[in-house]
Structure 1
Amino acid sequence: MRRLNLLEETRFEKLPVTVFPDQQKAAVRVAQRIANLIRTKQDKGQHTVLGLATGATPVAVYAELVRLHREEGLSFRDVITFNLDEYYPMQPDAAQSYVTFMNENLFDHIDIDKEKVHIPDGTLPREQIQAYCLNYERKIEAVGGLDLQVLGIGRTGHIGFNEPGSAPNSGTRLVTLDDLTRRDAARDFGGKGNVPTKAITMGIGTIFKAREIILMAWSRKKAPIIKKAVEGDISSEVPATYLQLSDNVEFVLDEDAASELTRFNTPWLVKDCVWTEELTRKAVIWLSNTVNKPILKLTDEDYNNNGMAQLATESGPAYNINIHIFNKMQHTITGWPGGKPNADDSQRPERAEPARKRALIFSPHPDDDVISMGGTFIRLVDQGHDVHVAYQTSGNTAVWDDDVLRYMEFAIDFNHSIGSDTSKLEGVYENMRSFIQHKQPNQVDTQEILNVKGFIRKTEAIAGARYAGLEDNHIHFMALPFYETGKHKKNSVSDEDIELTMALLQQVKPHQVFAAGDFADPHGTHIVCFRIILEALRRLQKTEEWVKDCWLWMYRGAWHEFELHEIHMAVPLSPQEVLRKREAIFKHQSQKDRPVFPGDDAREFWVRAEERNRETAENYHRLGLADYEAMEAFVRYHF
């Protein structure tokens, strides 16, 4: 019976999928499978042939394999490896090369024979590539073929660098990279313009010959392409769909990457559900949007015709469900984000008391506060709350080099104007200008340049916070150590990061903490900063009484927005408040027009913020609720 139920749940899925609570648990399981394969073949006196992938996805797997080698004696002496791909052209000692990646993450830490390691050569003359690729295939065949191929998946659906349009029988070859693939790699190369346009990759046909194939994916960023790969039709537009034709493939996902699969996103379409409050809200909002009706106009027929007959039967009639969810959504809306004094707060998202709250807004970068919750920030100040803002990192990697020179030139001219000696400044300026002129992609800036970039972001953040109404002694710059590497790749979080956060929390003793809850990129600054806050609060919770009265609110907006069913507090903004928020964002001039790291969204940050806030308001209105100009959304996190 259990098998039948599982088949029903996964009937939209066209290949085997295993989902783990998080990527670490998934990575450990994959590493264990690889280790078991190696040991089994060693016991038989045979070598193991592994196909290996690069990128962020397999890093945790390689870390676990290194641990197994060091702590449990796993030997790689009899292992032969073939990497999927390499950029072209690419020097093997370049920071962005997959030779460097594999050495840093795996090969330099295990006992593998480097003669048994094969990574496509990115230094070949163009005319030699075809013969080289043919020989790469022959080498794989000569050692008996791949026992296990590890894959990640790109947002174009590529496996290896087999971009849309690749043939299912393709072999190792030189390919042209999709623009989205190059954009995703831009951060590693210091800008998309520095990303190679081509790569050498194993073909889909080569991958198919492996006796086992494991494709891994983590984070919500991968969820849309995973849904296409697992549930979509086989198409050259999404090369990963070709894996549906294999009998030897398994997709290993964390919950975020699996979140858009039907069994998780709309489970009522595949099985009977336990109708929790949260699931009911999600389903009713989904139904309202699916049939294009306000919530209060949904009928029993709408429920029955769209896979929600069970809900209508158990909790109906439809109107009872409709009015319940309508009221729940209505109660998320408040013009009093710090709580409305002397009011019945039983149906409000925030407490009425104390009437004047201490609020601490954590901003991972120096502009996330005003971009993501600028309207609420200003309203909290206007309504008399004791508001503090804390900028967790300097943001000093996200300033254009031209701005550094411009600010230095200003400083020299100003010192000239007041009769100060400028010789030292001029010397530093000339050194900066020379460095910038010869700077290589992703080269770490000198400390002086990093300092100026940090000063630029700091002064902009002060201007934005002052515009929101804060006094200078309520503006805090944390410069958390994990960030201060000068590189896009940051250090691991240490106790110092957590202790600095604890000290600020103890100083303010907030009733409200606002923190960035945008985790689309699991390796991004936002999630790292959030985890630091969470750990600080958890430690303080053991000894500090005030923490019991501290509520943690998550905001989004710079990159994504919360889904409607997730929102616990929606703060409406008037047209005038939208303009005030825009002016606060404009104070961050170094991020205006074109930021250094814009991500996929080509719009300016203020445009993104306004359009997302407006879209949230429109989505509420479509459900039959009041029509506001814009809304900022928040989710309460129970720590």
Structure 2
Amino acid sequence: MARLNLLEETRFEKLPVSVFENPQTASINVAQRIANLIKKKQAINATAVLGLATGATPIGVYAELIRMHKEDGLSFKNVVTFNLDEYYPMQPNAVQSYVRFMNEHLFDHIDIDKNNVHVPDGTIKLEEIPAFCLAYEKKISDFGGLDIQILGIGRTGHIGFNEPGSAPNSGTRLVTLDDLTRRDAARDFGGKSFVPTKAITMGIGTIFKAREIILMAWNRKKASIIKKAVEGEISGEVPATYLQLSENVEFILDAPAASDLTRFNTPWLVKDCIWTDKLIRKAVIWLATALKKPILKLTEDDYNNNGMAQLAIEKGPVYNINIHIFNKLQHTITGWPGGKPNADDSQRPERAEPAKKRIVIFSPHPDDDVISMGGTFIRLVDQKHDVHVAYQTSGNTAVWDDDALRFVEFNVDFTAQMGFDNTHLRDMYDNMRLFMEQKKPNQVDTPEIQAVKGLIRKGEAIAGARYCGLEDDHIHFQALPFYESGKNQKNPVTDLDIELTMELLKKVKPEQVFAAGDFEDPHGTHLVCFNIILAALKRLRQTESWAKDCWLWMYRGAWHEFETYEIEMAVPISPKELERKKYAIFKHQSQKDRAVFPGDDAREFWQRAEDRNRDTAKAYDDLGLAEYEAMEAFVRYKFED
């Protein structure tokens, strides 16, 4: 019966999928399977042939293989490897080279014979590539084919660098990279313009010949493409869907990457559910949205005809369900994000007391505060709460070189005009110009340039916070050490990052903390900064009584909002307040017009924020609630203690 239930639960899935709680446990599982293959081959004096991938996804697998080698004696002397791809052109010692990546993350730490390591050559002449690709295929065949092929997946659905339009029988070849793929790689190269337009990749046909194929994907950012690859129709527009034709494939996912699959996103469509209040809210909002009907107009037929008959039977009548969810949503709406004084707060998202709260708004980058919750920021100040803002990082990697030069030029001219000796300043400026003229893509700036870029963003943040109504002594710049590497790849978080955050929190003793709750990219600054705040608050809750009464509210950034069913506090924003929020964002001039790392969205940050806030208000309106100009949304983090 359990097997039948599982088959019913996964009936939308067209290939095997295993879901793990987190990337760490998933990576250990994959590494163990690779190790077992290696040992099995060793036992019969045979060669294990591995197809390997690069990128953030397999790093945990490689780390576990290194641990097995060093601690458990796993040998790689009988292993031959073939990597999926390489940028073209690409020097093997370049920071972005996959040769360098594999050496740093695996080969330099194990006993593999480097003659058994094969990575596509990004240095050969263009006219030599066809012959090289044929020889690459022949080498794989000469070793008896790939025993295991490890894959990641790009947001275009590419496997290797087989972009949309790739043929299912394609072999190793030179390809043109999709624009989205190049945008995703922009941070590694210091801008999209520096990302190569070509790559050499194994073909889908080559991958298919592997005796075992394991595709791994982590984090919410990959959820939508995973759903297409697993549940969608086979199409050249999503090359990963070709894996549905293989009998030797398995997708290994963490829970966020699997979250859009039917069995997790809309489980009532595939199985009987245990109807928690949160799941009921999600299902009812899903039904209303799918049918384009207000919640209070949903009928029993609507429930029965759309996979929600079980809910109607167990929790009905349906109108009572509708009323319950409508009221729940209505109670999330508040014009008093700090709590409404002298009011019954039993149905409100925030406590009424204390009437005037001490509040810290943490901003990972110097503009996240106004972009993400500028309207609420202004409202909290207007309602006379004791608001502080803490900028966790300098954001100095996201300023254009010419902007930095322009600010130093101003200082050179200003000091000259005032009659000050600016010899040292002129020398520094000349050195900056010389460095920038010779600067390579993604090269770390000099300390002087980093300082100038950090000061540009600091000045903008001060201007934005002042516009929201803060005094200077309530504006804090933490410059957390983990970020100040001068590189896009940041340093590991240490106790110092947490202690600096604890120090600020102990100084303010807030009743409310607001923090960025963007967890789609596990390597992003927002998640790192949130985890620092969380660690600081958890430590303080053990010794500080005020910390136990401090509520932590999460906000989202300029790209994505919380799902409507997740929202626990929705703050309406009037047209006038939306305009004020926009002007606060305008203070961040270095991020306007053309940001260094704009992501996929061509809109400016103020446009993204405005549209997102209006979309949130419209979602509430469509469900039958009051119509507002815009809304900012928040979810409260619940401490387990």
TM-score by length of 2: 0.99
Give runs of aligned pairs for residues 450-599 of structure 1, distance below 5 A.
450-599=450-599
Q: For 1:543, give the aligned amino acid.
A: T
Letter in 2 for 1:453: K
SS at match of 1:554: strand
Q: List per-residue Cα deviations over 1:16-55 (Å, max 9, x = no partner).
A: 0000111111111111111111112112211210000011
State how 1:379-390 maps to structure 2 within 5 Å: 379-390=379-390
Structure 2 Cα separation of the partners of residues 605 and 435 of structure 1: 30
8 A contact 1:518–1:559 mirrored in 2: no
Question: Is the partner of 1:459 in helix, strand or coil?
Answer: helix
Q: Distance in 2 between matches of 1:360 and 1:368?
A: 14
Q: 2:414 corresponds to which residue?
A: 414
**Which amino acid is 2:12 matched to?**
F
1:60-107 deviation line (CA, Å, top 9, x unaligned): 111111111111111111110000000111111111110011011111
The answer on whether the counterparts of 1:617 and 1:630 sit within 8 Å (CA) in structure 2 is: yes
Distance 2:555 2:68 in 1: 39
Query: d(CA) in 1 for partners of 2:372 and 2:472?
Result: 21
Match for 1:317: what amino acid?
Answer: P
Equivalent residue, structure 1, for 2:282? 282
* 1:557 CA displacement: 3.0
1:481 partner SS: coil
CA distance in 2, matches of 1:557, 1:621: 22
Shift of 1:417: 2.4
The residue type equivalent to 2:553 in the other structure is W
Q: What does residue 235 of structure 2 align with?
A: 235
Question: Structure 2 counterpart of 1:164, which letter?
Answer: P
Compute the displacement of 1:318 (Å): 1.0
Counterpart residue number, 1:172: 172
State the 1:519 CA deviation: 1.4
Partners of 1:67 and 1:553 lie apart in 2 by 38
> Superposition pairs for residues 132-531 of structure 1, below 5 Å?
132-531=132-531
What is the distance in 2 between the residues matched to 1:417 and 1:411? 10
Q: Which string of whole-angstrom CA distances, capped at 9 and with x for unpartnered residues, describes residues 345-375 of structure 1?
A: 0000000001010110000000000000000
Mapped partners of 1:193, 1:286: distance in 2: 41
Cα distance in 2 for partners of 1:5, 1:396 equals: 53
Map 1:41-56 onto structure 2 (within 5 A): 41-56=41-56
CA shift, 1:542, in A, is 1.1
Over the residues paired in the alignment, what is the CA RMSD in angstroms?
Answer: 0.7
SS where residue 553 of structure 1 aligns? strand
Preserved CA contact (<8 Å) 1:557 1:612: no
In structure 2, C-alpha distance between the alignment counterparts of 1:475 and 1:44, rounded to whole Å = 67
Cα shift readout 1:371-399 (whole Å, capped 9, x = no counterpart): 00000001001101110100000000000
Residue identity opposite 1:135 in structure 2? A
Shift of 1:600: 0.6
Cα shift readout 1:292-332 (whole Å, capped 9, x = no counterpart): 11000000000000000000001111100000000000000
Q: Is the 8 A contact 1:229 1:240 kept in 2?
A: yes
**Inter-partner Cα distance in structure 2 for 1:557 and 1:629:** 19
For residues 30 and 511 of structure 2, the distance between their equivalents in structure 1, rounded to whole angstroms, comes to 43
Aligned residue for 2:482, secondary structure, equals: helix
- Partner letter of residue 357 of structure 1? K
Q: Unmatched 5+ residue regions in structure 1?
A: none
Q: Supply the distance in 1 between the matched residues of 2:279 and 2:113 (Cα, whole angstroms).
A: 53
Give the secondary-structure state (helix, strand or coil) at the position aligned to 2:161.
Answer: coil
The CA distance in 2 between the partners of 1:70 and 1:336, in whole Å, is 57
Q: Is residue 168–residue 204 contact of structure 1 (8 Å, CA) maintained in 2?
A: yes
1:69-84 equivalences under 5 Å are 69-84=69-84
Q: Which residue of 2 aligns with 1:629?
A: 629
Task: Give per-residue Cα distances to partners, 1:402-424, cap 9 Å, x unaligned.
Answer: 11111001111221222211111
Whole-Å Cα distance in 2 between the matches of residues 532 and 67 of structure 1?
A: 27
User: Could you tell me which amino acid in structure 2 is paired with residue 512 of structure 1?
Assistant: Q
Q: CA deviation at 1:516?
A: 0.2
Which letter does structure 2 place at the counterpart of 1:147? D
CA distance in 1, matches of 2:78, 2:481: 41
Match of 2:607 in 1: 607
1:194-248 deviation line (CA, Å, top 9, x unaligned): 1111111001111011110000001111111100000001111111011001111
Tell me the secondary structure at the aligned position of residue 199 of structure 2.
Answer: strand
SS at match of 2:159: coil
Amino acid at match of 1:279: L
Mapped contact 1:333–1:571 kept (Cα < 8 A): yes
Tell me how far 1:559 sits from its aligned partner: 2.1
> Counterpart of 2:102?
102
Q: Distance in 2 between matches of 1:377 and 1:191?
A: 32
Paired letter, 2:548: K
> Quick one: distance in 1 between partners of 2:497 and 2:44?
49
CA–CA distance in 1 between the matches of 2:255 and 2:131? 42
Following TM superposition, where does structure 1 have runs of at least 4 consecutive aligned residues deviating by more than 3 angstroms?
none
TM-score, normalised by the number of residues in structure 1: 0.99
The code of the aligned residue for 1:385 comes to H
| Displacement of 1:276 | 0.3
Q: Is the 8 A contact 1:172 1:206 kept in 2?
A: yes
Contact 1:18–1:253 (CA<8 Å) still a contact in 2?
yes
Amino acid paired to 1:15: L
Count of equivalent residues: 639
Name stretches of at least 5 consecutive residues in structure 2 with no aligned partner: none
**Matched residue of 1:493: which SS?**
coil
1:552-575 Cα distance to aligned partner (Å, 9 max, x none)? 000013221100000000000000
